[in-house]
Amino acid sequence: MAYRHREFHKLENIGWLRAAVLGANDGIVSTSSLILGVAAAHATHSSIVITGMAGLVAGAMSMATGEYISVQSQADTEQAALATERTEPESDMPSEHRELASIYVDRGLDASLAQQVATQLMAHDALAAHARDELGITDILSAKPVQAAFASAISFALGGLMPLLVVVFAPVDQLILFVGIGSLLFLAILGGLAARIGGANITKGIIRVTFWSALAMGVTAAIGSIFGTLS
């Protein structure tokens, strides 16, 4: 039996990684910003906890819904393209063969070899060949709406739970300080982990996440402080 070498690439993680990182990052930023805004407006500790819990649940559901709709739209587009591609070889096989061969020529094969490859692949599975090489649709990269929605909801909830736990256990008189520092620490860890899994620069990943998150939390806290003073 021939041994088949199997390589694992970072790209295979990109689908679930994108949804999970986006969800966790948004969970931390949204929940901590909401908590900081309410705390800066001088709300009671119980009100801050309730607000944080409500924001966590609402955000998780919103993330799941938005991710599902977005990825399902992509899946619908892919299915429509495949439906069109499925009928084309039946109606005009020579043109489809030339189209596939030209793709392989553009990728570096000489014309005669490209013709042979196109012939063999179309004989084996014409739809799969065109889906992969013409449309760029594969099992790894194809849209999976339920998986993306579930990953977004769970990751948002886990992310949002982090600053919420800080609120529960932190000293009331230093709540803003603990939530701010704790959230930025969580985000730095998340940014570094995401960069490592995706094969990107870890330092840049950490800086990018913490800078924009700190800006979002600072603006929300400032607005809460202003309205808290006016009320």
How confident is the model over 113-143, as pLDDT tens digits?
A: 777 766 666 655 555 655 665 555 555 455 5
Q: Could you give the CA distance from residue 228 to residue 174 in angstroms, rounded to a whole number?
A: 17
- As for how many domains the chain has, the answer is 1
On whether residue 223 sits in a domain, the answer given is: yes
89: confidence class by pLDDT, cuts 50, 70, 90: low
181: confidence class by pLDDT, cuts 50, 70, 90: very high
pTM above 0.85, yes or no: no
Residue 85's pLDDT is 57
On whether residue 103 sits in a domain, the answer given is: no
Residue 84's pLDDT is 60
On whether residue 178 sits in a domain, the answer given is: yes
pLDDT of 220 > 70? The answer is: yes
Identify whether the C-beta of residue 78 lies closer than 8 Å to the C-beta of residue 137.
yes
On whether residue 153 sits in a domain, the answer given is: yes
pLDDT of 108 > 70? The answer is: no
On whether residue 196 sits in a domain, the answer given is: yes
Give me the domain span that covers residue 26: 14-84+144-230
Q: Strand, coil or helix: what is 3? A: coil
pLDDT of 159 > 90? The answer is: yes
Q: Could you give the CA distance from residue 172 to residue 178 in angstroms, rounded to a whole number?
A: 10
Average pLDDT of the residues in 69-79? 76
Residue 121's pLDDT is 61
For 221, half-sphere exposure in the C-beta direction (CA atoms, 13 angstrom radius) is: 18
Q: CA dist 144 to 75, 79, 133, Å?
A: 7, 12, 20
Residue 96 in tokens: 């489809």
On whether residue 200 sits in a domain, the answer given is: yes
Output the 3-class SS for 105-143: HHCCCCHHHHHHHHHHHHHHHHHHHHHHHCCCCCCCCCC
Identify whether the C-beta of residue 204 lies closer than 8 Å to the C-beta of residue 211.
no
On whether residue 114 sits in a domain, the answer given is: no
Burial of residue 56 (number of CB atoms within 10 Å: 0-12, 13-18, 19+) = buried
Nearest to 129 by CA among 101, 105, 163: 101
Residue 1's pLDDT is 44
Q: CA dist 101 to 86, 97, 148, Å?
A: 18, 6, 35
Residue 113's pLDDT is 72
Identify whether the C-beta of residue 187 lies closer than 8 Å to the C-beta of residue 205.
no
Residue 8's pLDDT is 46
On whether residue 102 sits in a domain, the answer given is: no
Residue 88's pLDDT is 55
Residue 228 or residue 94, greater confidence = 228
